[in-house]
Amino acid sequence: MDYSIKPVKNEEGKVVLLIPEGRDISNRKWIEKELREAKEKAEIATHAKNSFLANMSHEIRTPMNGIIAASDLALKETESEKLEHYLKIIHSSAHSLLGIINDILDVSKIEAGKLDLEMHPFQLDDVVDTVIDMFLNRATEKTIEILVDIDPETSRSLIGDSLRLQQVLVNLMSNAVKFTEKGGIILLGVTEHGKSTDNTTLDFFLKDTGVGIPQDYIKRIFEPFSQADASITRHYGGSGLGLCISKQLVEMMDGEIQVESEPGVGSTFRFTSRFGRRPEEITRKLVPPADIQGLTVLVVDDCVDSRTIMKKMLESFGFHVEMAGSGGESLRRLEDSEMRENPVDLVMMDWLMPELNGIEASKIIRTEMNLHIPIILMTAFGREAEMVFLLNPYTSRLFLMRLWMLLGKKMSNVQNCENTLQPERRFTKTG
């Protein structure tokens, strides 16, 4: 029973009478009890499901890995085109299904509290290089240009879970490549803030020129099984779990993730993560050998972002940098190069440019202008005589090694080159 007293007032507002009331609330209490018990049972069932999936992750993945391995072996043995076609379908479908299984299992493990971060030393550049390598072929097929912009002052030697960081970057890069149309640009950047003796916080961003995300969908984009609409799944595929997993992994790394987007323009995902720094951190500074220091470099690229990234990297090596936005502009700059106080010593030329591409401009420089300036042609494809091709995107170390080779060093000196490029080491002890 639920008892209460209701006061009755006169015209002057004074209480003149108290009326006791009693109500039978047995039914309400019974409903509340049933709801509470149902909620507890649902929570137990959810926990049991998550625990089961987390514990069964190995057993569920193993058959799919077996199918993939078997189809790999069969593809190497078969001589029938029709059989090879069928095996490729099995191989591709198995990979897609394994990706969905992995996403579902990761969500279940996180919800069950069975996913722990592993703390171990790693190099930031190694993680970024691995992620880029995974998507270069797919990006090339769609003529998408991938750019990497890691601030030169960012700490590279870290302590944390590199595999989970890589998983977040892979999820974001996969979406960027998937939703960016042919001829688009994807920019992956890393900066640093809040650095202390033992820890540092890195800021990651991934910007694309893809289809964009409607504003009314952004607020729920990190929810599980979430797509902007059903047509997205039909057209692009995917489970809708990648961003949900990424959000939870970022939060486990003491960070947060957010997105800015405009339909038809593109999206930018940003996230922060906190990592440890080595107790004895080796601070390496890439320094060019003495005979190539102070070069004047002409950067030729129609992409503003690409020119800006290249300029920042070259200037960090102590080079003087000039920029041109097209092949034609580079030819005009080189016409009077020999007459100036700072003639161009090296040309960094993008291959895929409108009107006059990098190969055509390079041939004019060689044949018609009769200039023998070293040229590095930035591309993801093959190579031609008298030119060195540099896979784009690239790291600072790879660039300097290519430059070292271009200027006449032998391949046997490449290992020595790495040591020469990193002569300055500073040990910082803690504790």
Statement: residue 424 has pLDDT above 50: no
One domain for residues 174 and 62:
no
State the pLDDT confidence band at 269, using cuts at 50, 70 and 90.
very high
Task: Identify the weakest region by mean pLDDT among 22-26, 29-33, 134-138, 296-300.
Answer: 22-26
Asked if residue 22 is part of any domain, the answer here is no
Question: Could you read off the pLDDT of 96-135 as tens digits, one per residue?
Answer: 777 777 777 777 677 667 678 889 999 898 899 888 888 8
One domain for residues 290 and 405:
yes
Statement: residue 235 has pLDDT above 60: no
pLDDT at residue 339 in the model: 65
Statement: residue 11 has pLDDT above 50: yes
Considering 111, 128, 160, which residue would you say is the last residue of a domain? 111
One domain for residues 172 and 271:
yes
Asked if residue 11 is part of any domain, the answer here is no
Average pLDDT over residues 162-172: 91
CATH of the domain at 235: 3.30.565.10
Statement: residue 32 has pLDDT above 90: no
Considering 248, 263, 278, which residue would you say is the last residue of a domain? 278
pLDDT at residue 52 in the model: 58
Number of independent structural domains in the chain: 3
One domain for residues 50 and 187:
no
One domain for residues 312 and 236:
no
- Which structure tokens are listed for 260? 């800015």
Proportion of the chain above pLDDT 90, given as a percent: 18
One domain for residues 99 and 130:
no
Asked if residue 1 is part of any domain, the answer here is no
Average pLDDT over residues 53-63: 62
Statement: residue 257 has pLDDT above 60: yes
pLDDT at residue 250 in the model: 94
Asked if residue 21 is part of any domain, the answer here is no
One domain for residues 125 and 176:
yes
Identify which has the larger pLDDT, 403 or 120.
Answer: 120
Identify which has the larger pLDDT, 363 or 409.
Answer: 363
One domain for residues 346 and 377:
yes
Asked if residue 306 is part of any domain, the answer here is yes
Asked if residue 17 is part of any domain, the answer here is no
State the pLDDT confidence band at 272, using cuts at 50, 70 and 90.
very high
Q: Tell me the CA distances in angstroms from 148 to 137, 339, 384, 426, one per residue in order.
A: 16, 35, 25, 26
Write the DSSP symbol of residue 365: I
One domain for residues 311 and 171:
no
Three-state SS for 134-165 is HHHHHHHHCCCEEEEEECCCCCCEEEECHHHH
Identify which has the larger pLDDT, 38 or 247.
Answer: 247
Reported as half-sphere exposure (CB side, CA atoms, 13 A), residue 139 has a value of 28
- Which structure tokens are listed for 372? 């023998």
State the pLDDT confidence band at 419, using cuts at 50, 70 and 90.
very low
What range does the domain containing 255 cover? 120-278
Three-state SS for 218-279 is HCCCCCCCCCCCHHHHHHHCCCCCHHHHHHHHHHHCCCCEEEEEECCCEEEEEEEEEEEECC
Identify which has the larger pLDDT, 85 or 181.
Answer: 181
Residue 143 to residue 137: CA distance in whole angstroms: 10
